[in-house]
Copies of this chain bind each other. A is one copy, B any other.
Amino acid sequence: MEFNIAFIGFGVVGQGLAEILIEQEEFLKKNYDFHFKVVAVSDTMKGSWYKRTGLDLKKLLALVKENGNLKGYGEGIEGWDSLKTIEETNANLILEVAWTDLKTGEPAITHVKTALKNKKHVVLTNKGPIALAVRELLDLAKKNGVEMRYEGTVLSGTPALNLGLNNLAGAGITKAMGIVNGTTNYILTEMEKGMSYEDALKQAQELGYAEADPTADVEGFDALGKIVILANTVMGANLSKDEPPCEGITKITAEDIVKAKEEGFRWKLIAGAEIKKDGSIDAYVRPEKIPLTHPLANIMGPTNALTYSTKYVSDVTIVGPGAGKLPTGFALLTDILDINRLVSKR
């Protein structure tokens, strides 16, 4: 299939995908019959270009790396905003990778709705629209005969979400539990090596794992957003994102960690969702003392992991990165190629 792609936003994640697409273009054509042109890039800060016959992705990437913006590109139409780009270009696949307010999900929700109403496929990595409005958006996609995918919202390019949605479809998933925040797992790992919480957090910030304001990570809110997305889309729950109980790692001391290890356990920040006997679904984020023999106990540093408990295949665990430019860029590609597989069969 031939796709005309528009990037809405061209920050780290968009640039990550751009690097992969440039390197893999021939491989993707040959192996997956996936052909693409990038026809538009629209970024509030960096500038916007549209060219019906295709932009030069290499040149765009070089410009943004050199100047931090796309101003000097010089071919095609300049300056279309995100909505005009979604509505009026010949793109048939919209990548929503712009900045988003996590409280309102905007402007991403409006971008996604506009794209779907215009019968354009959408792939996104923004947690906001999925955490806040996934049902409505999936219904809109279905109604318009197009696809919407969001693998990158949970564990970046580690295919945790599609594993549950597709590969384990029909396996009778009863529970999901995992380490879905790399920053806190990194901090706990360093604390086990003897570092204080404060020093470990500082180091995580220096390495780019933690934000200047680490609240969303250390208080568990980032993990909560992910487990709610997973519960709602893989397990059929209908939880609002602030509903489940949420406790972070700030109360865990170095002594707790040492003591647990002596007893054959390890503290991990666990996000979980479980189907109860009455069919309702409980989700939570909390520190748990996991036996060292448990697969999740040996996930160290910024690595993420998720275990699905199922009726027919018992436990299936996936382990991989949970963040990063290329892993998250790849999350877009895995969704794009899945859409390509489906659409090619039409």
Instruction: Report yes or no: B317 in contact with A318, Cβ–Cβ below 8 A.
Output: yes
Neighbour of A333 across the interface among B170, B295, B318, B321, CB < 8 A: B170
Rounded to whole Å, the gap between the CB of A22 and the closest CB of chain B is: 12
**A204 → chain B closest CB, angstroms:** 18
Q: Which residue of B lies closest to A158 (CB)?
A: B316
Contacts of A313 in B (CB 8 A): 156-158, 320-321, 326-327, 330
Contact A318–B318 (Cβ < 8 Å): yes
B172 and A168 form a contact (CB under 8 A)? no
User: Is there an interface contact between B159 and A330, defined as CB atoms closer than 8 Å?
Assistant: no
Tell me, yes or no, whether A280 is within 8 Å of chain B by CB. no
User: Which residues of B have CB within 8 Å of A236?
Assistant: 31
Contacts of A163 in B (CB 8 A): 159, 163, 167
CA gap between A191 and B8 in the complex, in Å: 56
Chain B residue numbers with a CB within 8 Å of A20 are: 170, 312
A144 within 8 A of B: no
Say yes or no: B315 contacts A320, CB within 8 Å: yes
| Docked CA distance A304–B346 (Å) | 36
Q: For chain A, residues 164 to 216, give those with C-beta under 8 angstroms from any C-beta of chain B.
A: 166-172
Chain A window 311-346, contacts with chain B (Cβ cutoff 8 Å), 1 for yes, 0 for no: 111111111110000110110011001100111011
User: Which of A236, A293, A341 has the most CB atoms of chain B within a 10 A radius of its CB?
Assistant: A341
How close is A305's CB to chain B, nearest CB, in angstroms? 8
Q: Can you list 5 A-B pairs with a CB-CB distance of less than 8 A? A: A156-B313, A157-B171, A171-B334, A312-B327, A345-B346
Interface residues of A (CB under 8 A from B): 20, 24, 27-28, 31-32, 156-159, 162-163, 166-172, 236, 293, 295, 298-300, 311-321, 326-327, 329-330, 333-334, 337-338, 341-343, 345-346
